[in-house]
């Protein structure tokens, strides 16, 4: 980060992701990150999908973090930021072990989620969390076709 000409991190709250969908929030976050840069880039590379309506030329790159150093660097900054957030909320919700697994769906995280139910930091629209919510309410699991329909609806935005 100290060698970057400019960088800007945008954090999207879990409630926004649940209300709008992950893809919509990713696109909005990329737009906000671009707007927050101290300098205007001449060109933007995005990882995987295009972001329309940017004020500069852009190219979506499939597996961009594997082929472009700037995209890989952005991915690292995002992951380190997320890890830091998870460590910071750990004292508030120690029963979930966020400092250890950083919110990834590990066996220990799923066990804690099943035992305690979701906290406000969990994304209730994510299938693993939704499954726990349904199970705790005595409802059947999310059907595979319902899960796919949700993913397709999320990808149709942008």
pLDDT digits (tens, 9 = 90+) for 16-28: 999 999 999 999 9
* Torsion angle defined by CA atoms of residues 28, 132, 118 and 157, in that order, rounded to the nearest 10 degrees: 10
pLDDT of residue 143: 75
Q: How confident is the model at residue 152 (pLDDT cuts 50, 70, 90)?
A: very low
pLDDT of residue 154: 44
d(CA 65, CA 43): 16
Average pLDDT score, the chain: 90
Spatial CB neighbours of 138, under 8 Å, sequence gap ≥ 6: none
Find the radius of gyration of the CA atoms of the chain. Answer: 18
d(CA 153, CA 82): 25
Find the helix packing angle between 107-116 and 127-136, rounded to 10°: 30
Spatial CB neighbours of 134, under 8 Å, sequence gap ≥ 6: 140, 141, 142
Better pLDDT: 142 or 5: 5
Instruction: Give the predicted TM-score (pTM) of the model.
Output: 0.82
Count CB neighbours of 108 within 10 A: 11
Burial of 139 (C-beta count, 10 Å sphere; 0-12/13-18/19+):
exposed
pLDDT of residue 53: 86
Spatial CB neighbours of 13, under 8 Å, sequence gap ≥ 6: none
117 φ/ψ angles, rounded to the nearest 5 degrees: 75, 170
Token pair of 5 as six digits: 């000409």
């Amino acid at each position: 980060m100290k060698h970057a000409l400019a960088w800007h991190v945008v954090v999207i709250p879990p409630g926004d992701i649940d209300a709008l969908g992950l893809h919509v929030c990713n696109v909005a976050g990329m737009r906000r990150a671009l707007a927050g840069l101290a300098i205007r880039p001449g060109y933007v590379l995005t990882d995987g999908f295009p972001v329309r309506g940017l004020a500069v030329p852009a190219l979506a790159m499939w597996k961009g973090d594997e082929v472009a150093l700037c995209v890989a660097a952005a991915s690292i900054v995002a992951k380190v930021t997320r890890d830091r957030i998870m460590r910071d909320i750990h004292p508030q919700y120690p029963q979930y072990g966020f400092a250890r697994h950083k919110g990834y769906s590990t066996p220990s995280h799923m066990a804690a989620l099943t035992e305690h139910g979701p906290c406000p930091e969990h994304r209730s629209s994510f299938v693993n969390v939704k499954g726990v919510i349904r199970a705790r309410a005595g409802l059947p699991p999310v059907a595979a076709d319902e899960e796919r329909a949700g993913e397709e609806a999320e990808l149709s935005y942008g």
